[in-house]
Structure 1
């Protein structure tokens, strides 16, 4: 979806057409990174998660720097889009060269396929494991056809999560952590072109600083834990971002240094959140088909309730001062 809608977007004949294609690409293709990350985390053991995450993010940074370099060189957005989206079509080859997640196959009861992939991995890595080690998986396949009690079959992990106050609180906190990381990380990336100097070079530097940030993740996450790392990097990011507003405008290099330091710290936080969130929630084979609709409806319901706290402004002059804006609530008809 990224490749299809991205490539077609280069032929846009109007701004509206470009917006529609951009929306479709994000709506149907934005899950590519998250899916790749989940697959990678399911392919490695606990000790390999941080290292795997570091490798993924390092390649991600190379993509960002390539984007900046190509933009600087081509100076043609249509040609740029065609070049950067063309490799996405190589994803079709994954149908033949990429193995499915063993954890996912097991969760779906496709045990024989999971065992075949494990045997292929053992052969590739020249590891000899006896059939006794894999026999429990074969037993799962044999027991798959046995009758499952109705209360277990109908059990929903979503309902279980709703009943757990610990999970509810964790969802709220982790959601806020993720929103904060996304807001600051992409905000700093996009806003880098407004800094003094060459905008392409600035964007490239802001991307490059993620490489040492991800290697710092590799060093600190397993040594100091997830919580300490997250708290430290969030506080550091806050201090650095706020300090940007205090620097005199005549300073030349200091704003860029602090800006890059802020991107460095939020990158460490972002990488840590990816790993942390994947570890604090259970992996379940059960799912709830109507979960997306419930989320959509819940969000709009909350939004409608929040509107009650705002004043009605029909046929009301635009306020010019804070006092006039405050009076809107006092004069609003019930």
Structure 2
């Protein structure tokens, strides 16, 4: 692309900021949009962590009903005494039984049974317990690992969704991808409640994860591309507060509904109420402009101005007409330019660290020693102020410092947890909640920061790629937790050390506070790169190059 064309596009987008200022940077239109974007986020936490409450540990033992064939009149206590070994505490073993024999009852009573084996005929659970994933699909003993694997497969769905829907959103638009993901989450979330087999459950949950991921990353672009510079953090973080409220709702919902299938229906069915979005959810006008779809963009901008009761100056919209259509960005664009490559690689590490500590703490809720419903309620409650306080912190201190400090604090909390004795559940839970507070805040900063660092033509691709790395961490987190059987400190040591190390790399990122959103991948080029571009551009002059540098709207602080 010639330098002159690129300059035109940069100027065009600078004027887009003027249009947003004219129609209102955060008026009624934008507030209604944020409300629409927030509603699905109320339901996303259920898909993220709901399984924790469907696999609550219950007493169980091997099914030894074989002995009733030779002793039909045995009481349950007599049956268990004869067929189950006891552990060091005198309790019945949960995962082993005496090997069945072809003796009569008198011989069994006289000689007893000695040889033990693993459960061969399934398990018996308390009859009063409502059906859960654990009891219905026998996620106990050797099959316990299936629970962790299923969480990782769900995270793999998040990964696929982040990558696929991120790139798709840059190509076909934010609105259609958002609507597709809402439909997928509703249909497949409801389908989970009717699965006949645990492997089917895992497969469908993978699709749900992809839809959840698509919604999360599309919210970021729609929320940032419709508001003025100073309102970008507020728009994303207000939407994210719905996620925090959703986490508290999960605690109450799972406490009140103990039947896992009914719980799944209750957490998924409300998504169908959002189908009216087809008529009311707008596309990103900024994205439409970069695609050259000017008439659609102008209609949306005029509607936004009317809703905000503002009038656009005559001729302002006509100045948005680009000389030529902006080329679609691709994944490779994130690594071709040096400034984008450095930003991309560091943000990938930041999102990985955010995710490993966030999910590490969130999925460990059952091991902190206190009631899991109260702990989850506290986890959700602490996310609300964590997100709200960022609205002010990001404006006062900027993105870079806040991102680095919060990541480091989240990691330090996990490292401190490794030294707290197991018989101090209150201290462990308090430290875990502080860790969850800082991890949540760090994750929210990353959403705002990434949306501001990546240009419009590859914004969703960039955020999607970062989210992909976060989902790799999400896949690993459930697999790291079982390492506590070797030493209880191992999982938290891993969850803590990674964010502490990554926080140091944030120093190399540019600051984006008060800087207009970049739209083309050329924004932020180094002088050397600009000179190369000029060599291949006919008719371009050094003066045009200087104009381009001014048009980039990049502060000297934000240049790499």
Residue 193, structure 1, aligned to residue 388, structure 2: no
**Partner Cα distance (2:278, 2:415) in 1:** 47
Greater helix percent: which structure?
1
| Match of residue 86, structure 1, among 269, 274, 279 | 269
1:96-129 deviation digits (Å, cap 9, x = unpaired): 0111110111122111111111111111111122
Of 414, 423, 442, the residue aligned with 1:241 is: 414
Pair 1:273-2:446 in alignment:
yes
User: Are 2:187 and 1:4 equivalent residues in the alignment?
Assistant: yes
Moved >6 Å (runs of 4+): 285-288
TM-score normalized with structure 1 length: 0.78
In the superposition, the TM-score normalised over structure 2's length comes to 0.48
C-alpha distance 286-42 of structure 1, shift in aligned 2 (>3 A): closer
SS in 2 for 1:130: coil
Match for residue 115 of structure 1 among 288, 291, 298: 298
| CA distance in 1: counterparts of 2:260 and 2:361, whole angstroms | 22
What is the match of residue 225 of structure 1?
398
1:255 equivalent in structure 2: 428
Q: Name 2:386's counterpart in structure 1.
A: 213
- Equivalent residue for 1:61? 244
| 1:307 match | none
Partner SS, residue 315 of structure 2 = helix
Structure 1 residue 71: Cα displacement: 0.5
1:89, distance to aligned residue in structure 2 (A): 1.6
Taking the TM superposition and a 5 Å limit, the aligned residue runs for 1:1-334 are: 1-137=184-320, 139-140=321-322, 158-284=331-457
Higher relative contact order (Cα pairs below 8 Å, separated by 6+ residues): 2
Q: Is the 8 A contact 2:414 2:432 kept in 1?
A: yes
Larger Rg: 2
Q: Distance in 2 between matches of 1:53 and 1:156?
A: 23
CA distance in 1, matches of 2:378, 2:190: 27
Distance in 2 between residues matched to 1:228 and 1:80, nearest whole Å: 41
Quote how far apart the aligned CAs of 1:162 are. 3.0
Aligned residues of 1:157 and 1:286 also touching (Cα < 8 A): no
* Alpha-carbon spacing, 1:130–1:55, altered in 2? closer, same or farther (3 Å): same
Unaligned 5+ residue runs, structure 1? 300-334
Taking a change above 3 Å as real, the CA distance of residues 239 and 63 of structure 1, as seen in their structure-2 partners, is: same
* Cα shift at 1:169: 2.3
Q: Secondary structure at the match of 1:205?
A: helix
Q: Note the C-alpha offset of 1:54.
A: 2.0
SS of equivalent to 1:253: helix
Shift in Å at residue 212 of structure 1? 1.1
Q: Distance in 1 between matches of 2:263 and 2:296?
A: 41
* CA displacement at 1:287 relative to structure 2: 10
Instruction: Return the offset for 1:163.
Output: 2.9
SS of equivalent to 2:456: coil
Q: Contact 1:241–1:262 (CA<8 Å) still a contact in 2?
A: yes
Aligned in 2, Cα 1:156/1:197: closer, same or farther, shift over 3 Å? closer
| 1:86/1:195 CA distance change after superposition, 3 Å | same
Give me the whole-angstrom Cα distance separating, in 1, the residues matched to 2:186 and 2:460.
29
> In the alignment, which residue of structure 2 is the partner of 1:329?
none
Over 3 Å counting, the alpha-carbon distance change for 1:82 and 1:286 in structure 2 is closer
Q: Look up the SS of the partner of 1:212 in the other structure.
A: helix
Q: Distance in 1 between matches of 2:218 and 2:276?
A: 16
Q: Contact (CA 8 Å) 1:156, 1:287: kept in 2 or not?
A: no
Question: Deviation of residue 166 (structure 1)?
Answer: 2.9
Aligned-pair CA distance for 1:158? 4.9
Whether contact under 8 Å (1:247, 1:255) holds in the other structure is: yes
The Cα shift of 1:285 comes to 7.2
Q: Check whether the contact 1:193–1:200 (CA below 8 A) recurs between aligned residues.
A: no
Work out the CA distance in 2 between the residues paired with 1:176 and 1:166. 16
Following the alignment from structure 1 to structure 2, what is the Cα–Cα distance between the partners of residues 20 and 79? 19
Offset at 1:286?
Answer: 11
SS for the counterpart of 2:306 is helix
